[in-house]
Structure 1
Amino acid sequence: MPLAVSLRRVNGEINRLTHAFATAQGLHPTDVSALATVLDADGPVTPGILRARLGLTSGAVTACLDRLERAGHIRRTRDQADRRVVRIEYVDEARLAARAFFRPLAVAGERARVRFDDAELAVVLRFLDAFSEELDAFGAETALEEPPR
């Protein structure tokens, strides 16, 4: 099976689970993408980071954060050094609920992972990291282009 087909299949399955979680939580799929961004971040997440990462307008990010906050998934706090800066935190109880929902995905990932030795996994991770870098670069390039008419 060609690589592109395999990647689309994996992406489709993850999207299916994401939509199911969004529906179960009364959220929009974009809200789940925002939660994933907060969860995967190396440091504090701000609305500006979400806007850039998700390709949303400031108003759309605010609406997304309002929904997530009302649903109890995130909290917004002010930075102590600069009160103008808003930090977004994943609420611990909501994180536990998300982990429980996505547990089958983690189990499937572990079942697949054990089929590979460390050297093979290192190659897979290098590929996925390189692919993500290329997608980020492609996204940055296309964001600067005029939309087709």
Structure 2
Amino acid sequence: MYRRRDTRREKLVAEIAAELRRYSVDAQHVGHAFANLHGLGATDLQALIAVMDAELAGQSITPGRLGEQLSLSSGSVTALIDRLERAGHIRRDRDTADRRKVFLHYAERGAALATDFFRPLGRRTDEVMAGFGDEELEVVHRFMAAMTASMREHRDTVRAARDEPPRRAKG
């Protein structure tokens, strides 16, 4: 992170890492603004993003899977889902084949609130992407997918270390 950068590649790598950090921080600020505007906490926002990502991927997400993604106990995830459902952000739907299974989906009201808030950002994103050709966007996509996978691996390592019992100091 704070090592010497002598070559053009080393400087470019450092610049890209700095831009990713700034993007991450700014994205967090925008997400927190949406959350604050609608009385949501950080975990609420993470849950909504997980539900949205599942829907965009054409998959359904269960409460259990949501709890795994957010590292929440089943009681905590139930309270979270109850709170988001009462606020009109998500809905529970039972599987038509197995009524015991529950899937989480964005509720119309929640989707409308998110669309209204994030529409200007979507326009800005579209404008930026319009300045890049298809081949460039494919490279950017490959890069971002690899960076996201790397971050998730690190996140999972941090979570696993956090869940280990504390080590006693020797001596």
Q: TM-score, normalised by structure 1?
A: 0.89
Structure 1 segments, 4+ long, off by >4 Å, are none
Conservation of the 8 A alpha-carbon contact between 1:74 and 1:89: yes
Amino acid at match of 1:69: E
Conservation of the 8 A alpha-carbon contact between 1:39 and 1:90: yes
1:34 has 2:47 as partner: yes
* Paired position in structure 1 for 2:89: 73
1:95 has 2:95 as partner: no
Which structure has the bigger radius of gyration?
2
* Paired position in structure 2 for 1:8: 21
Shift, 1:111, TM fit: 2.1
- Which structure 1 segments of 5+ residues have no match? none
Q: Deviations over 1:64-103 (max 9, x none)?
A: 1111101001111222222221111111232122111011
Shift, 1:139, TM fit: 3.2
* Paired position in structure 2 for 1:56: 72
RMSD: 1.8
* Paired position in structure 1 for 2:99: 83
Aligned residue pair count: 149
RCO higher in structure (CA 8 A, sep ≥6): 1
Q: Deviations over 1:2-43 (max 9, x none)?
A: 222111111111111111111111111211111111111121
* Paired position in structure 2 for 1:115: 131
SS of the aligned residue for 1:2 comes to helix
- Which structure 2 segments of 5+ residues have no match? 1-13
Matches within 5 A, 1:127-138: 127-138=143-154
Amino acid at match of 2:111: R
- Residue identity (%): 44
For 1:39 and 1:57, locate their aligned partners in 2 and report how far apart those are by CA, in whole Å: 21
